[in-house]
Amino acid sequence: MTAPPATQADSTGHVPFAPGVTVLVRDEEWLVTSVERAAGDPDGSQTPYLLRVRGLSPYVRDTTATFYTDLDVVTPLDPSQATVKADASPNYRRARLWLESTLRRTPVPLYDESLVVAPHMLADHLDYQLSAVRKALSTKNLRPRLLIADAVGLGKTLEIGMILGELIRRGRGDRILVVTPRHVLEQMQQELWCRFAIPLVRLDSVGIQKVRRTLPATRNPFTFFPRVIVSIDTLKSPKYKAYLEKVRWDAVVIDEVHNATNASTQNNELARILAPTTEALLLASATPHNGRSESFAEILALLDPTVVHPDGSINRTDLQQLIIRRHRHSPEVAAEVGRKWAERAEPNNVLVSASKEETALAREIRDTWTGPGVQPPSGDNRLFPWTLAKAYLSSPAALAESVANRRAKSEDPTEQQALDRLAELTHAVSPKTSAKYQRLLSHLKAIGISSRSGERVVIFSERVATLHWLRDNLAKDLGLKAGAVEIMHGGLSDQEQMDVVDAFKRSSSPLRVLVTGDVASEGVNLHAQCHQLVHYDIPWSLIRIQQRNGRVDRYGQQTPPVITTLLLDPPDDATPGDLHVLTRLMEREHAAHSQLGDVASLMGEHSVKSEEDAIREVLARRKAFDETVRTPEEVLATAREKTDDGELDIGEIDAWLEEIGKGDDDEDAVPGSGTTDGSGRQSVYDSEADYLEDALTEAFHGEPQFPSARGGVAWRRNANDTAQLEPPRDLIRRLDLLPEDYVRQRRVREELVLATARARADQSLREAREGTSDTTWPIAHFLGPLHPVSDWAADRALSSMARLEVPAVRGDLEVPTVLVMGTLMNRRGQVVSRAFHVVEFRSPTLHTGDTIADPHAWLREIGLDRTATNPGPVADETSLTALIPKAVEVTGASLDGVFASATAEAERRVAAWREKSARWESEADRQISSARLRHLSRRVREEAELAEQLRPEQRLVRPLLVVVPTDHPVAPATVPSQEIS
């Protein structure tokens, strides 16, 4: 069936479908949450819309649905036909709830760059983090797209959470996909829920099994769960890639995106699938440039296909809008982190004189495999001898494994004999005869690792064999109890890895020594209970060293991190290479950390493997160290010499990144602007707890404190800034979309505990880590501005309101006044501009209207707050209802001028983008066609089509409130002298 003509746009562009509108479909009431244009009829007579809605009437309440206006009869309820309902609740509670809920559900306009919810989340107010939020919301970009390239430890997850929160408040975050490495799935999920109240369903190995039990095999899980966090390894499955191609997202986050930059890889294919299917795209990586021009261009093209010109060059100005990069010593960061990020202690690089057994082993490797002029038994294989040298520097267990693996494959008798000699010498090195291991034991005892101490340490090694060797011997030699020493490596399942990380964060856990491979070097936060880190073997890569150090050297570390490196040092005549190079590598990393905040530009290789290859050449004395690894001073000198011609050659990326890392010169990073922007609470209520309490009181007939058996929810608001309730069935259904571990481990289905103040929420997080808890999920969850329990309570409280009711209250005004909201939407149904109007009625025919800047301030001025007195419902609802059509008409006419500038500005943005894309396509026509160019051309055309959808087209006028003077009579049914309280 086709929708009636009344549902289509009229000649003035007024369209009744917009977020916040109530519609009737299939005889049920629905609240429109988003609107998109669908493909039009061939004759152009109809403009169909795709409506996403949430059920309001009892039968469909809390359910979501999607309707096409050309398939269903969709009848919008005309705001001008609203009826006035006098509010009889104490302190006008129902009217205040109605206003607060309506204003919250009306998206903040797209081009409003003020921060509405970010300053009120459970995170420290740091300007450098808020500047990342502003850059993501900048109107200079067609849509929110940003590469967060901050150095290790600055809090990229916090920035992502604040950005997502602002997008949700703008109606651009209903559907969210977060893609991370599997070992940080729980960490990211926990941060986004505990600090920002953004719930994500985790599709790890356990979550996928649950989905398979819950959904039919043919059901796309990404259409069932609106907000999902999943590992990139899971998504590489052909099945899941096929699912992703069929869904659209409001926001996609790809963490550690440098793992998805190489063309023709599965990770890159996945990123290419996701980029066009999402409105907002947030990429995060501390090492965004891997040294290959194509790879860096690939990241940029994911964000904006026009930023990379058809000839491969990059416009510096465009790039500035897509990337934000700072490090520990950037001025805006250093000025704020203070005591929350202790400066790293001077590195403790320990040269360990080799024992006679280790010396004999080193001499054999040198004389037979790696020495100058030696022809190794491996023949032309130049790599394997250095594999042996690297294994020797790790542990005898690692070397024994390498020798055994090679011996099993070797068919050369000479090589077999050499390997047998090496195996025999390796066997002679035991924990007791290993000088490096004994030095590690001494170090661990010196820093207080024991069964009686709470001190913790993380020990890194590249080889899994070394991890097992250390675990088996350390627990015994240190006299530690079971569970005090654990290992982590890529061979463990995602759940096993997350369990180890979670245990290391909790003071109640017996875990004291975490022996880990480099799987933990990316993204994992290990600083909550630990400031001691040991490199048992030294990576031959500056990037890897920095990544390891960043696990304990990061924001929130209040004890100076101590980085200790153990390097086996055989005599000069026995060393298998110039091993002192590795000590210099550690020293240069520390210098770069202090001066640059990043190390990748020192070698210019930008990948772990390339750096390892280069260092191998230095160890073999085929290259000089200083030619291979630059000093920070040399890097900065190059940065100052970079060209400023507007175009950025790919070879200048290093210099440019280092330059902006010294201090973001974009206006989004104005020091001091973050703590004041949006810090004032824009709400009818003084706190979230007040809002929730009023909603519960209204929903449960004034008695939410009663247990469920008596019609309440056992609501209690405690003196220690916590509150609690027993979730009823309809709330329990919503809990299915919360993190399952949190719901299960904190028994949330039985009792939900909330922290109503930031300080108490912070304390709850600390108690989960440092108390006797067996989980890091907090008992009391922060009641932030996006908390789903507030939405549920408001829905429940207002469910009894009839269709198109407008509450009437008394206020400090001289004449009856109608508060009206007007919204301007683009073709996608997104709010472009919003205005509030008050229409004063001296008489039914004499009226004046005026626009107000802040409805919350206006409501406070007229006395509509928690202290308002309600002597009873206002009289004469019928006469007040007659004011509504005229108020809507007057507001609609006055909004023509108010929205004119917003329309012109939006049109200017669309025109600028169209011009930019046309210029790109013109340049592309002059280039030789290639697969890369065809892919980019398709993306540019898609972006141009999107730009057209951003043109303002729809408007909606909604009456919100009728206010009469304080002396207005009480309705006859109520005794006037009796105050309701």
Does the pLDDT of residue 219 top 50, yes or no?
A: yes
The pair of structure tokens assigned to 204 is 């790890």
Give the pTM: 0.88
Helix/strand/coil for 887: helix
Of the candidate ranges 434-438, 536-540, 650-654, the one whose mean pLDDT is the lowest:
650-654
pLDDT-derived band at 144, boundaries 50, 70, 90: very high
- pLDDT, tens digit, 9 for 90 and up, residues 475-533: 999 999 999 999 999 898 888 998 999 999 998 899 999 999 988 888 889 999 999 99
Beta-bridge mates of residue 497: none
**What is the rounded CA–CA span in Å between residue 552 and residue 532?**
7
Q: Across-strand partners of 28?
A: 25
pLDDT at 180: 93
State the maximum Cα–Cα separation within the chain, in Å, rounded to a whole number: 110
- Tell me what pLDDT residue 73 has: 92
- pLDDT at position 675 is 37
For the cut 90, the answer to whether the pLDDT of residue 886 exceeds it is: yes
Measure the CA–CA gap between 390 and 369, rounded to whole angstroms.
12
| Residue 397 φ/ψ, nearest 5 degrees | -65, -40
- Show the tokens assigned to 252: 């996609």
Which of 510, 528, 438 is CA-nearest to residue 474? Answer: 438
The two tokens of residue 46 are: 């109809």
User: Rounded to whole angstroms, how far apart are CA atoms 547 and 529?
Assistant: 18
Per-residue model confidence (pLDDT) at position 604: 82
Tokens of 694: 């009023």
- Mean pLDDT for 260-285 is 85
What does pLDDT average to over the chain? 86
Name every residue whose Cβ is closer than 8 Å to that of residue 857 and which is 6 or more positions away in sequence. Answer: none
- Measured distance CA(453)–CA(495) in Å, rounded: 28
pLDDT score of 208 = 78
Query: What per-residue confidence (pLDDT) applies to 12?
Result: 36
Q: 């054999």: which residue's tokens?
A: 364
Instruction: Label residue 612 exposed, middle or buried (CB < 10 Å: 0-12, 13-18, 19+).
Output: middle
| 469, 499 Cβ separation under 8 angstroms | no
The residues near 631 (Cβ < 8 Å, ≥ 6 apart) are: 588, 591, 602
For residues 50 and 860, the model is more confident at 860
Q: How far apart are CA 779 and CA 764, in angstroms?
A: 6
Please, is 578 exposed, middle or buried when counting C-beta atoms within 10 Å of its C-beta (0-12, 13-18, 19+)?
middle
Tens digits of per-residue pLDDT, 443-466? 999 999 998 899 999 999 999 999
Mean pLDDT of all residues in 301-307: 87
Give CA–CA dist 441/435, Å, rounded: 10
pLDDT band at 471 (very low <50, low <70, confident <90, very high): very high
What single DSSP character describes residue 717? Answer: E
- Residues 6+ positions from 908 with CB-CB distance below 8 Å: none
DSSP, res 590: H
Report long-range pairs for 847-856 (Cβ below 8 Å, ≥24 apart): 847/886, 847/887, 847/890, 849/887, 849/890, 849/891, 849/894, 851/894, 851/898, 854/682, 855/99, 855/103, 855/819, 855/821, 855/960, 856/103, 856/682, 856/683, 856/684
Place of tokens 């408040």: 169
Sheet with 83-86, edge to edge strand ranges: 83-86, 805-811, 952-965, 817-826, 831-841, 847-852
Identity of the highest mean pLDDT range in 175-189, 315-329, 339-353, 429-443: 429-443
Query: Could you give all domains of the chain from N- to C-terminal order, each with its CATH number?
Result: 1-77 (2.30.30.30), 138-201+231-326 (3.40.50.10810), 343-592 (3.40.50.300), 688-798 (no CATH), 804-981 (no CATH)
The SS3 assignment for 459 reads strand
Residue 658 scores a pLDDT above 70? no
7-16, pLDDT tens digit by residue?
A: 333 433 345 6
> How many other C-beta atoms can be found within 10 angstroms of the C-beta atom of residue 351?
15
* Strand-by-strand arrangement of the 201-203 sheet: 201-203, 227-231, 176-180, 249-255, 278-284, 145-148, 323-324
Kindly report which listed range (73-77, 545-549, 872-876) carries the lowest average pLDDT score.
Answer: 73-77
Mean pLDDT, range 356-361, rounded to an integer = 95
pLDDT of 977 reads: 44
Question: What backbone phi and psi angles, to 5 degrees, belong to 496?
Answer: -65, -40
Percent of the chain past pLDDT 70, that is, above it, reads 90
Residues 302 and 272 sit within 8 Å (Cβ to Cβ): yes
CB neighbour burial string for 156-193, b if at least 16 within 10 angstroms, e if fewer: bbbbbbbbbbbbbbbbbbbbbbbbbbbbbbbbbbbbbb
Distance CA(26)–CA(40), nearest Å, equals: 23
372 pLDDT exceeds 70? yes
Distance CA 592, CA 929 (A): 42
**Which residue's structure tokens are 């520990």?**
328
- Which letter does DSSP use for residue 178 in this model? E
* Structure tokens, 439: 């030095």
Structure tokens, 872: 């009873």
Q: 296 CB contacts (<8 Å, ≥6 apart)?
A: 261, 288, 289, 290, 650, 653
Q: State how far the Cα of 847 lies from the Cα of 542, in Å rounded to an integer.
A: 72
- The winner for highest mean pLDDT among 681-690, 728-737, 873-882 is 873-882
Let me know: does 360 contact 428? Beta carbons within 8 Å.
Answer: yes
Question: Comparing C-alpha atoms, which of 798, 964, 955 is closest to residue 881?
Answer: 964
The 10s digit of each residue's pLDDT in 564-573 is 999 999 998 8
